[in-house]
């Protein structure tokens, strides 16, 4: 009997929460872009416990673009038979957050926890053609678009936010959005 009451309470809680969570969707003019909800003042989100792996394979960063929430740890793994390096000259344009991870042999990895939001351009100082990106978002509300540019972010609480769209080589664009249930926002990114 006590268990039944508890289950009922949980169900009610979930339903209540769901009633305040909406969906943010839309389209970005260029595919393979990233869309995320920017910093929400007064809101602190628990750091993600996920570990993301970025591999260096075939003289490329794989995947080329990764989106993680602030506080996420990323493992950089060398899957090539040649030595690599990973460094980034800035985080979100802030050069003080530049870092050089050094080098490590095939099969090994090194980890780094990204505590500051922003775009992290990954480079290898051995193979200057290699590039990748880590987009560190301040909120857990983010998505990568499909090739056509469509995106959908679920479980966004109702409220007013600033939404950012980013694409490699384009100028990021911010737009205010009010989420009440389902909200729609489109971006036309300029080069």
Partner 1 sequence: MLHFPLQLRNCRFLSFAFLVGILLSFSGAAHAIPAFARMYGTSCSTCHLDFPKLNDFGKAFKDAGFKFPKNDESMLKIPPVMLGAPANKELWPNAIWPGTIPGIPPIGLRYTNYLQYTGSSSSKFAALTPPGNLPPFIPTTDFETGVFTLLSAGNFGGDVAFWINNDLSVAGNNSGGGLGDAYLKFVNIGRLLKLPQYALNLRVGQFELEIPFTQARSIWTSPYDIYIQSNIGAMNPLFSQQFVNNNYVLAETGKGIELSGGRHTGGYNYSIAFIDQRTGGHTGFSPYVPTALGSNNGGLGVQSDADFKDIYASFNYRFNLERDKESRNAIQAAGSTGPRDHTYLNLGTYYLYGRTEQRLLGAGADGTASVLTAREPFYRVGGNVTFNYRCCLQFNALYMFGHDLNLLPVDAAGALIPLNQLGQITPAGFVRGRSATFSGGFADVEWLAYPWMMVLMRYDGVNSNADRVNALISNPPFTGAPFNAGAGSTRNRFTPGVQFLIHPNIKATFEYQFRPAQSVMVATNPFTGLPVALNPFHTNTAVLGFDFAY
Residues that bind partner 1 (CB under 8 A): 57-59, 80-85, 87, 89, 98-100, 102-105, 123-129
Which of 51, 100 has the CB closer to partner 1?
Answer: 100
For residue 60, CA distances in Å to 77, 102, 133, 146, 152 come to 12, 17, 12, 21, 28
Q: Which residue has the tokens 């628990």?
A: 46
**CB of residue 132 to partner 1, shortest distance in Å:** 15
CB-nearer residue toward partner 1: 67 or 86: 86
CB of 77 to partner 1, least distance (A): 15
Distances (CA, A) of 79 to 43, 73, 87, 114, 180: 38, 19, 17, 22, 45
Residue 39, Cβ density class (10 Å: 0-12 exposed, 13-18 middle, ≥19 buried): middle
**Minimum distance between the CB of residue 76 and partner 1, rounded to whole angstroms?**
12
Residue with smaller CB distance to partner 1, 30 or 56: 56
Nearer to partner 1, 20 or 104 (CB): 104
């Amino acid at each position: 009997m006590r268990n039944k009451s508890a289950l009922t309470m949980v169900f009610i809680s979930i339903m209540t929460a769901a009633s305040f969570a909406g969906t943010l969707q839309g389209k970005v003019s260029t595919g393979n872009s990233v869309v995320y909800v920017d910093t929400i003042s007064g809101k602190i989100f628990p750091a993600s416990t996920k570990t993301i792996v970025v591999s260096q394979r075939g003289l490329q960063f794989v995947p080329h673009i990764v989106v993680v929430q602030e506080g996420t740890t990323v493992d950089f793994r060398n899957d090539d038979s040649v030595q690599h390096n990973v460094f980034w000259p800035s985080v979100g344009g802030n050069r003080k957050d530049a870092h050089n991870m050094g080098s490590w042999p095939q099969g090994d990895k090194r980890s780094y926890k990204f505590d500051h939001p922003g775009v992290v351009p990954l480079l290898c100082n051995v193979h200057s053609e290699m590039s990748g990106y880590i987009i560190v978002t301040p909120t857990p509300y983010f998505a990568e678009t499909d090739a056509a540019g469509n995106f959908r972010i679920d479980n966004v609480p109702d409220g007013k936010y600033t939404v950012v769209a980013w694409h490699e080589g384009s100028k990021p664009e911010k737009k205010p959005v009010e989420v009440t249930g389902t909200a729609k926002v489109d971006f036309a990114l300029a080069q």
